Amino acid sequence: MKEALASFAKEISSPKKIFITTHVKPDADALGSSLGLANYLIKKGHDVTVVTPSDYPSFLNWMKGNEDVLDFSNPNDVNQAKKKLEEAEVIFCLDFSVLHRVNELGELIRDSDAYVVNIDHHQDPEDFADYRLWSTKAAATCELVYELIVDLGDKSLIDKDIAECLYAGIMTDTGGFRHPNTTKNVHLVVAELLDLGADTSQIANWIYDSNSVNRLKFIGFAISRRLVIREDLHLAYFTISKKDLKKYQSRTGDTEGLVNYALSLEGIKLAALFSEREDGIKISFRSSTEVAVNKFAAAYFNGGGHKNAAGGKSSLGLKETVELFESLVDKHQSELFAEVTLTA
């Protein structure tokens, strides 16, 4: 481990052209780790570009460096992003561990001659990096980025802006420090970030208290009209159609956290959100502590993630996807709730 870190440290010891990317539809951990790392590397004299595979919620726009992020799905940014990737000497892949999570960028990264770094905390990583900082024990990729900077002897370079980017990712990936991944180390790292200037109240306000009227109306509509509860299966889920999203002028990030309302119901062990998009059905899964929902997502919905928070997708219609989901939960109740590995 020390030898690998030393080799990596040598690789970035002199100014380099650096390309940083993260997964599709970046959340606070994805963007926070990317911009937190970028701001640190800029201080070290590197030429840094952050490219996201898609757009991301506007409630993350406060992070330092946001205005310079290139969106690979935006026709106005794609050529510049490709040029930056071609020129890159070092590529950082943050908050994802398989290259298909960045769509077309994945194959471009695979074909690159650059030195590739992967920093992540998801399970079942793909072997594509020259240096990997990977741990499922970490609550967030931001936690790992903080520890990397400290291990490189550069804690003094973490200023308020960097600390706030990293804090945001840890706060959200622990569910506001409520999820089982909220370890002693999480609290120790957060304490350090507070000492380094992170304004926790302001960050929470930016992320949680910046709703549009349409989003609040949409959440109310979803809870009252689109929530299905199956007490016999310890299950609750939302079904959101394209028509629903259009009706409430849904923007990127407006469905964020909706699935947690279903999981919050007494007696519910497994929750899901089915959201109809142009390219298929996007699925978010959440579960209680004892249910390994990532195995379920991987076995049946071409997905994966963390034990209690995972994602998936379906090429079936919305109704057909939900019917398949219910039948699978019914069929595999004993396996799901006993944490037995599922086989398709």
Look at residue 201 and tell me if it is in a domain.
Answer: yes
Lowest model confidence (mean pLDDT) among 12-21, 65-74, 160-169, 293-302: 293-302
Does residue 160 surpass a pLDDT of 50? yes
State how far the Cα of 57 lies from the Cα of 154, in Å rounded to an integer: 30
- The continuous run of DSSP H or E covering 230 comes out as strand 227-230
Task: Indicate if 160 and 40 belong to the same structural domain.
Answer: yes
Per-residue confidence at 274, pLDDT binned at 50, 70, 90?
very high
Mean pLDDT, rounded, of the chain: 94
CATH code, domain carrying 133? 3.90.1640.10
pLDDT of residue 164: 98
Strands 131-134 and 115-120 come out as parallel
Task: Indicate if 53 and 160 belong to the same structural domain.
Answer: yes
Look at residue 343 and tell me if it is in a domain.
Answer: no
Cβ atoms within 10 Å of 122's Cβ, excluding its own: 20
Q: The whole model's pTM is what?
A: 0.90
Task: Indicate if 37 and 185 belong to the same structural domain.
Answer: yes
**Which of 141, 176, 208 lies at the terminal end of a domain, its last residue?**
208
Smallest CA-to-CA distance from 104 within 81, 127, 126 is with 81
Q: What is the pLDDT of residues 295-333, one digit of tens each?
A: 899 899 988 888 889 999 999 999 999 999 999 998 887
State how far the Cα of 339 lies from the Cα of 342, in Å rounded to an integer: 9
Task: Indicate if 187 and 204 belong to the same structural domain.
Answer: yes
Does residue 47 surpass a pLDDT of 80? yes
CATH code, domain carrying 272? 3.10.310.30
Q: What is the pLDDT of residues 223-259, one digit of tens each?
A: 999 999 999 899 999 999 999 999 999 998 899 899 9
Per-residue confidence at 1, pLDDT binned at 50, 70, 90?
low
Look at residue 18 and tell me if it is in a domain.
Answer: yes
Q: What is the pLDDT of residues 16-43, one digit of tens each?
A: 999 999 999 999 999 999 999 999 999 9
As a whole number, mean pLDDT of residues 90-117 equals: 95
Q: Would you say the C-alpha torsion 255, 257, 261, 262 has a positive or negative sign? A: positive
CB contact set of 238 (below 8 Å; sequence gap of 6+): 222, 226, 227, 228, 258, 259, 261, 262, 272, 273, 274
Look at residue 60 and tell me if it is in a domain.
Answer: yes
As a whole number, mean pLDDT of residues 268-288 equals: 94
Per-residue confidence at 273, pLDDT binned at 50, 70, 90?
very high
**Which of 173, 208, 243 lies at the terminal end of a domain, its last residue?**
208
Q: Would you say the C-alpha torsion 231, 232, 235, 241 has a positive or negative sign? A: negative
pLDDT of residue 288: 87
Task: Indicate if 86 and 204 belong to the same structural domain.
Answer: yes
Task: Indicate if 184 and 229 belong to the same structural domain.
Answer: no
Does residue 196 surpass a pLDDT of 60? yes
Task: Indicate if 238 and 190 belong to the same structural domain.
Answer: no
Look at residue 344 and tell me if it is in a domain.
Answer: no
pLDDT of residue 341: 44
Task: Indicate if 85 and 229 belong to the same structural domain.
Answer: no
Look at residue 342 and tell me if it is in a domain.
Answer: no
pLDDT of residue 342: 45
State how far the Cα of 256 lies from the Cα of 108, in Å rounded to an integer: 29
Lowest model confidence (mean pLDDT) among 106-110, 123-127, 316-320, 325-329: 123-127
Task: Indicate if 95 and 167 belong to the same structural domain.
Answer: yes
Task: Indicate if 283 and 150 belong to the same structural domain.
Answer: no
Lowest model confidence (mean pLDDT) among 38-42, 46-50, 93-97, 177-181: 177-181
Look at residue 152 and tell me if it is in a domain.
Answer: yes
Tokens of 133: 């900082």
Q: Which domain holds residue 311?
A: 213-336
Return contacts of 132-137, CB within 8 angstroms, 24+ apart.
134/97, 136/306, 137/183
**Which of 161, 186, 208 lies at the terminal end of a domain, its last residue?**
208
Query: What would the DSSP string read from start to end of 143-170?
Result: HHHHHHHHHTT-GGG--HHHHHHHHHHH
State how far the Cα of 51 lies from the Cα of 28, in Å rounded to an integer: 15
Domain count, the chain: 2
CB contact set of 145 (below 8 Å; sequence gap of 6+): 33, 36, 37, 94, 119, 166
Is the distance from CB of 131 to CB of 108 less than 8 angstroms?
A: no
The pLDDT > 70 percentage for the chain reads 97
Task: Indicate if 79 and 191 belong to the same structural domain.
Answer: yes
pLDDT of residue 343: 46
Task: Indicate if 97 and 234 belong to the same structural domain.
Answer: no
Does residue 136 surpass a pLDDT of 80? yes
Look at residue 52 and tell me if it is in a domain.
Answer: yes
Half-sphere exposure of 210 (CA within 13 A, CB side): 15
